[in-house]
Structures are given as C-alpha cells and as structure tokens.
Amino acid sequence: MPRTRAFAILSLFTGLALLLVGGSTLALSDSRHPPDANTNQRDAAIHEHADDLMEQGRNTFRNDTFGSEGFFGAIGLHKAIEGTKFAGGVKTDLGLDGVSPATALAVGLKVDAEALPASLVTAVLNDQVDLTDPATTLALLKVNGVDPTTGEGNGAVVGVKGFFNSDGSLKSVGITCGLCHSTVHNLGLKTAKGVALDGIGPRLDGVPNRDLNVGLIVSLAPNLKPVADLLNSAGPQPGQPSPITADAVRGAIRTWGPGKFDAEVFMDGKVINPATGKTAPTLIPPAYGLAGVNMHTFTGWGSVTYWNAFVGNLEMHGQPGTFFDPRLDQKDKFPIAAVNNFGHISSTPDKDRITDKLAALHFYQLSLPAPASPFVIPTDSQAVKDARSRGRAVFEDVAKCAACHVPPLFTEPGWNMHLPSEIGIDSFQADRSPDGRYRTTPLGGLGSRAQQQGGFYHDGRFATLTEVVNHYNDFQRLNLSDQQKSDLVEYLKSL
C-alpha cells in the first residue's frame, strides 16, 4: 500500500475515533439524560424521545383544533348548537332549536366518559341531568374548565372544542382529528329510568366513527356562504351545479350519510359524481394499523405525515401553517386548489401552528394498533378454526389475494397503488387524486370493521365481506365454490 494512502486511512480512523470519543463526551455531559447503570444512554434518550412524542402526538390528535374554530365560527355552527335560548343563537332550517346531548348523540357525536367528573356520571345515571337541553351540551363542552386567555373549553365531547364568550355563550367551535378518527367503547349504559346512553364511554383513538353524520352536522350551520364561495371560486365546472348556492351545498352534504366525508371536494369542486348524479363522499377510514404502510388515503395522496399536513392546512381550514404540493397546481384536476394556491401555503416559523405538531402526530398515529378481531375467541370450535385455515389458503394460494394484500401488512411493501381496472371498479375517485389509482387497503382490524356499518371499499359500495369476495370472484373469474367463499370470509374476519 502506498504510504500516502495508508496515511490517509490512518488519519481517517483517528478522526473517526476522535469523533466517537467526542460524541460520547457530549452524551455524558447531557444533563437531560443522566447515566443509567442498566441502559445504554443513547437507548435511554431514544425511549424518552418516544415517550415525549407519544404524549404530544396524542394530545394533538385528541385536542388540537388547528385553528378550525375560525372556519366554523364563520359559518356559525355554534349558533345552531346553542339555539335561541342564548344571545345570538339560531333555530336551524330543520326546526331544531339548539343541539341537546340527545341530538348530538343521535348524529353520532361521542362523549368521553373518562373526561366526565364522577359526580356528573352519577347525576346522569340518576336522570338528574337534562339530556334534551342544549345548555347541557354547552356544559359538557366546558366540564373541566375554560382557558381564561383563549376561551377554549376543556370538555368531554370527542373531537369537538367549544370556545366561549365571557357570558358563557359560545363564540365558536373547533374540531380535532378525534372527531372522525376516534369513537368510544359502547358500554350499553342506561339511566335509572331506562334512557339509553349509547355513545358515552371510554375513548377509542384510531377507530373510525361510522355513526358520525359530518354532512348533517355541518349543514346545521346558518351561513354556508363561505363554503359555496370556495366551491364557486374557480368558475363553472363541467357536470357540476354552477354557481352552487349555499342552500345547494346544504342539501348536498346532507346526502353524505353517517361515517362519510368528502375530503377532495375542496380541491376539485366535484360536489356530485356526474356519472351517478349523486354526491361522492368516502368512508372515514381507520387511523390504526398504518405503520409500515407506504401510501395513505384510499387513493394514495401521500404518506401519513403528508396527509396530516394536508388535513391540518386544507381540511381543518386552520391557520396559519405551511404546505407544499405543486401537484395541486393542475387546473384541470384540482381547479379549486389551483386557483386558491392550496399547494403553496406558507407561514413564518413564529406563526406556524401546524408544522411543529407533525412529527409527534405522525409518531402517535403509527403507534395505534389495529384492534384484535372480535371474531377470534380462544374457545372457537375446531370447525371454525378449520374454516379459517382453509380460508387462509384460499387467500394466499387459490385466489392470490396476498399478491396485493401481503401479510402481515396486508398491503404491498413499496408502491401500493393500483389502477381501477386492476380491481374491476370505476375510476371516479381515483381520478380525483394525483396518481389516478387506488391504494391497496391494509386489512388489519378488518374483523372489527366487519361489525360496523358503512361497508367496504372507499365508498362503502360493498355492504358485506361476502359481497367483496363475490366481486373478486366475478371480476377475476376465480370460480370459487360456496365453501371456499365462506372460508375466505371467515379468514378475513379474523384479521
């Protein structure tokens, strides 16, 4: 070896060694992570970081409104919630004078039982709380106090935050991720007089709220003009009502139904699918079981953190934040987003309310496990276990479902996107996304989803897993026997 090269290698090693020594001295002098006899310091720091992210991320997921109270204040949803008993409150066009807890629960909102003081729970169970009075809803939105500076109530309604005036009336409401992506464990509680308390229970983060009627709730707001203005902002769109009035928006979103929302409509203005003449919401998907999954949303807009930034900036209508996606400049595909520069949202680091939340939010979401299947119980009969294992063979070998739904992620490692023609469905929703494809849905927790209303595929077009299997059987000409189909369904329910 020539001398110069040997020297170079030697000095490289010396440099490395110095760097290592330097690094460990640095770690030793870090007072946040005192030496621990049992653990390597770096490991301890990593654990601590993970705990911090978990805590912050959970808090953001559950409690951060991302400034959405600005938008909801503008459309006046709070006025409909409080009703005419409060100054400024209104009666809705449906004749509803204020949203009582009974009404709120009926439209799918949930109450976190663990955020209720024990005395209140007792009072509710003893029929001492009027659940038909909108004033009780306001009380629930500030049951654990009101922040004196911001007026934000610390309440118990999952995913909804009240913002209060000093006289106790509502100034606005804001929403959090938990509104759609959390629900509660239904305890089946009843009051002494037998009033069912469905929708009050411990919070379940990540489980989609398929009871929640987002469209109906938003339609109660007295002033939907800002929504109509946004939808009209790019001028007439082919196949769409134009200009769309506030009342037409109200009517349209009322047809969405429970468990659904249209996250793309504020990008492309496609209030209705011209082919069907109907609105085109998608199901609210689970926010669990997403670790290891590359592309997210039904049509693969991006990663989890891409979509979190998208939602924080563009869906919660919060401000200010930063969001960059030049794909939204395509005028033909995303007319509303393009004309409003949605792909170029910028803020300054001191004002940005969103960017500093993204790392922890991402971490928390990826840590949400898919729930265990309620269909798998240790005492299952041998016949059921046999059906499940035959079903697995159908899934993996006979029908080759596992070619796309690769266990244990049940989606493809890598670019998990497919053309509509590969799965035998129409391209309407895929065409509303940058990639024009559908993302292979990860199937973890499918067993518990099978118990929920809403159906399967992005728009819930198949009501049952049997319908999904029949679709693949017809489309791919699998020639599965009835036995194979039912075995396959039994296996899917176990995921």
> Can you give the binding site for ligand HEC, defined by CB under 6 A?
175, 177, 179-181, 214, 261, 263-264, 282, 284-285, 287, 290, 296-299, 304, 307-308, 311-312, 316, 361, 365, 395, 399, 401, 403-405, 418, 422-423, 425, 438, 440-441, 443, 446, 449, 456-458, 465, 468-469, 472, 488, 492
Choice between 334 and 438, CB closer to ligand HEC: 438
Distance, CA of 223 to CA of 72 (rounded, Å): 10
Distance, CA of 318 to CA of 285 (rounded, Å): 22
Choice between 299 and 340, CB closer to ligand HEC: 299
Distance, CA of 138 to CA of 168 (rounded, Å): 9
Choice between 131 and 216, CB closer to ligand HEC: 216
* Minimum distance of ligand HEC from residue 468's CB (angstroms): 4
Choice between 261 and 323, CB closer to ligand HEC: 261
* Minimum distance of ligand HEC from residue 316's CB (angstroms): 6
* Minimum distance of ligand HEC from residue 311's CB (angstroms): 4
Burial class (CB in 10 A: 0-12, 13-18, 19+), 436: middle
Residue type, 317: H
Peptide bond into 335 cis (omega under 30): no
Distance, CA of 241 to CA of 235 (rounded, Å): 11
Distance, CA of 253 to CA of 271 (rounded, Å): 9
Q: 318: Cβ–Cβ under 8 A, 6 or more apart, which residues? A: 65, 66, 67, 68, 70, 71, 312, 353, 354
* Minimum distance of ligand HEC from residue 91's CB (angstroms): 25
Choice between 48 and 397, CB closer to ligand HEC: 397
Burial class (CB in 10 A: 0-12, 13-18, 19+), 170: buried
Choice between 183 and 299, CB closer to ligand HEC: 299
* Minimum distance of ligand HEC from residue 430's CB (angstroms): 8
* Minimum distance of ligand HEC from residue 370's CB (angstroms): 11
* Minimum distance of ligand HEC from residue 483's CB (angstroms): 15
* Minimum distance of ligand HEC from residue 267's CB (angstroms): 10
Choice between 8 and 463, CB closer to ligand HEC: 463
Choice between 201 and 445, CB closer to ligand HEC: 445
- Phi and psi (nearest 5°) for 346? -130, 160
Q: For tokens 């004033």, what's the residue?
A: 135
Distance, CA of 464 to CA of 470 (rounded, Å): 10
Burial class (CB in 10 A: 0-12, 13-18, 19+), 8: exposed
